[in-house]
A and B are shown apart, each in its own frame.
Chain A
Amino acid sequence: MSPTVAVVGASLAGLSAARALRERSYDGRVVVVGDEVHAPYDRPPLSKDFLAGRASLDDIALGAPDDEDLALEWRLGTTAVGLDPAGRAVLLADGSEVRADGVVLATGARARRLPGSEGLAGVHVLRTLDDAVALQADLAGAGSLVVIGGGFIGAEVASTARGLGLDVTVVEALPVPLSGPLGEEMGAVVAGLHAAHGTRLLVGTGVAGLVGTGRVEAVELTDGTRLPADVVVVGIGAVPNTEWLAGSGLALGNGVLTDARGATGNPAVVAVGDCAATWSGAAERHVRTEHWTHALEQPATAVATLLGSTEPAPAPVPYFWSDQYGARIQFAGSRRTADVPRVVEGSTAEGSFLAVYERDGQPVAVLGVDQPRLFTRWRRQLRSAVPSPS
């Protein structure tokens, strides 16, 4: 058998890993297994331009013309169901297997569902292209939408649906949406976009259940309120797709546990992207990161590891963005609860501003709303300020 690397997962992290293999002059077979039937596509637009009908499937395809040269073997529409403990074969749902000398795990995460919502029409999650197509079709005939979860996905769906003319309510369990990623002060500022654009935001409110038989009719809150809803979107986070690895001998936590370089306990197996919980020296724990930029960049390190490199892992500055109600939200850095944001440009009242989070007087993170130029400069500065790990 010719040398083979199996990449399990055909989204951004998997595609980036396959490209990285070729960039490192790996000339064996590269087999990419994906459970969706679609060729790799970009997920961020699913809640924004694609959902709004402004971007086509072609627009969001991740493949580039040069990808032909990569000579990848695609096994799409095929779910991996097991990894041989020796790490030499990936077992597929159709009963076949891919034998490989090296395996890159890139199976991503799936949307968490609301218990009790199974089989009820009109209730959606948004993670895959098929999810987005189904939601789009449902929104087209709907008058009201309730979004459960005020995180970035929920907020983006709310924003898109408002743009389509729906009556939208966002229900958030926490007192302040986005306080996890942005902190309470800035979370409140960004969540203020909802009210400014006619979306109702209910905070500190749990969901007791969904009402309806066959099709959803309302969302019932823990305080007894019933919110009528033609469509419900559940945006309450994601869970890593790692169940199929039970019995593989790999250490699993909130994701496949790896060292900082993406290595698992098996030298023939690395893990990347949303399915991996990678050791972070700065945080002193395994961290599972769901950011797009992470899925783009991290596979290069993991692939190098798989091919035998021991160079220290780069310590990139985490970066993510969100587009809501026409506002461009960008965040970079590692924020802790006690870090204090300070607005250094614009004002939160105007809606266009840049806030720098400081720890012991040092900038550690930056949030920009409609400040791409200045934000980019700060992001760069944070990048150069981060000492390389030893």
Chain B
Amino acid sequence: MIPVCATTALPPGEAIRVEADEPIAVFNVDGEFLAIDDTCTHQDASLADGWLDGCAVECPLHASCFDLRTGKVSGPPAKTPVRTHRVVVQDGTVFVQPGIAAEGAA
């Protein structure tokens, strides 16, 4: 498990990029923490820089939207989903488990 930050350091609507073998983006959606691959499957954009809209993030470059729960992409130009990662909150700290898909993900 990789420690990300204190829960208080990631307020609702915000995102943070976590360095890992493949960088991961962790989002706070109204108090719920969700994690996906940080790199857009289209080109080299950091999804943590994107715009959080409900439970999806819009890529900052060409506006493909990724569902944070399933990793699915809504429309072009990206074609492939991102991976989701399980997030664990313990004692006020957010952790991410890279490579372990979040529950409910495709």
Q: How far is the CA of A65 from the CA of B50 in the complex (A)?
A: 25
Does A344 have its Cβ within 8 Å of any Cβ on chain B? no
Q: Which single member of B49, B75, B76 contacts A372 (CB below 8 Å)? A: B49
Distance (Å) between the CB of A144 and the closest chain B CB? 29
| Chain B residues whose C-beta falls within 8 Å of the C-beta of A16 in the assembled complex | 76
| Chain A residues whose C-beta falls within 8 Å of the C-beta of B49 in the assembled complex | 372-373, 376
Distance (Å) between the CB of B104 and the closest chain A CB? 20
CB-based nearest B residue for A15: B76
| Chain B residues whose C-beta falls within 8 Å of the C-beta of A319 in the assembled complex | 63
| Chain A residues whose C-beta falls within 8 Å of the C-beta of B43 in the assembled complex | 49
Q: How far is the CA of A12 from the CA of B48 in the complex (A)?
A: 27
Complex contact B51–A377 (CB within 8 A): yes
Q: Assuming A321-B61, A321-B62, is B51 touching A372 (CB within 8 A)?
A: no
Q: How far is the CA of A12 from the CA of B77 in the complex (A)?
A: 10
Complex contact A380–B51 (CB within 8 A): yes
Does B58 have its Cβ within 8 Å of any Cβ on chain A? yes
| Chain B residues whose C-beta falls within 8 Å of the C-beta of A19 in the assembled complex | 75
CB-based nearest B residue for A65: B79
Complex contact A296–B76 (CB within 8 A): yes
Tally of chain B residues near chain A (CB < 8 A): 16
Complex contact B60–A376 (CB within 8 A): yes
Does B46 have its Cβ within 8 Å of any Cβ on chain A? yes
Distance (Å) between the CB of A53 and the closest chain B CB? 15
Complex contact A372–B60 (CB within 8 A): yes
Does B45 have its Cβ within 8 Å of any Cβ on chain A? yes
| Chain B residues whose C-beta falls within 8 Å of the C-beta of A63 in the assembled complex | 79
Q: How far is the CA of A319 from the CA of B51 in the complex (A)?
A: 15
Does A325 have its Cβ within 8 Å of any Cβ on chain B? no
Distance (Å) between the CB of B79 and the closest chain A CB? 5
CB-based nearest B residue for A321: B61
Complex contact B77–A293 (CB within 8 A): no
Does A292 have its Cβ within 8 Å of any Cβ on chain B? yes
Q: Which of B1-59 contact A (CB under 8 A)?
A: 43, 45-46, 48-51, 58
Distance (Å) between the CB of B80 and the closest chain A CB? 9
Q: How large is the interface on A (under 10, 10 to 19, 20 to 34, 35 or more residues)?
A: 20 to 34
| Chain B residues whose C-beta falls within 8 Å of the C-beta of A375 in the assembled complex | 60
- Main DSSP-derived SS at the A contact region: helix
Q: Assuming A12-B76, A296-B75, is B62 touching A372 (CB within 8 A)?
A: no
CB-based nearest B residue for A293: B63
| Chain A residues whose C-beta falls within 8 Å of the C-beta of B45 in the assembled complex | 372
| Chain A residues whose C-beta falls within 8 Å of the C-beta of B62 in the assembled complex | 292-293, 321
Distance (Å) between the CB of B37 and the closest chain A CB? 16
Binary interface encoding of chain B residues 72-100 relative to chain A, with 1 for a CB under 8 A from any of its CBs, else 0:
00011101000000000000000000000
Q: How far is the CA of A328 from the CA of B49 in the complex (A)?
A: 14
Complex contact A42–B76 (CB within 8 A): yes
Binary interface encoding of chain A residues 56-88 relative to chain B, with 1 for a CB under 8 A from any of its CBs, else 0:
000001111100000000000000000000000
Q: Which of A270-316 contact B (CB under 8 A)?
A: 292-293, 296
Complex contact B60–A373 (CB within 8 A): yes
Distance (Å) between the CB of B86 and the closest chain A CB? 25
Complex contact A42–B77 (CB within 8 A): yes
| Chain B residues whose C-beta falls within 8 Å of the C-beta of A65 in the assembled complex | 79
User: Interface residues, chain A, CB within 8 Å of chain B?
Assistant: 12, 16, 19, 42, 49, 61-65, 292-293, 296, 319, 321, 328, 330, 372-373, 375-377, 380
User: Interface residues, chain B, CB within 8 Å of chain A?
Assistant: 43, 45-46, 48-51, 58, 60-63, 75-77, 79
Contact sample, A vs B, 16 pairs, CB 8 Å cutoff: A62-B76, A62-B77, A64-B76, A64-B79, A292-B62, A293-B63, A296-B75, A319-B63, A330-B61, A372-B60, A372-B61, A373-B48, A373-B49, A376-B60, A377-B51, A380-B51
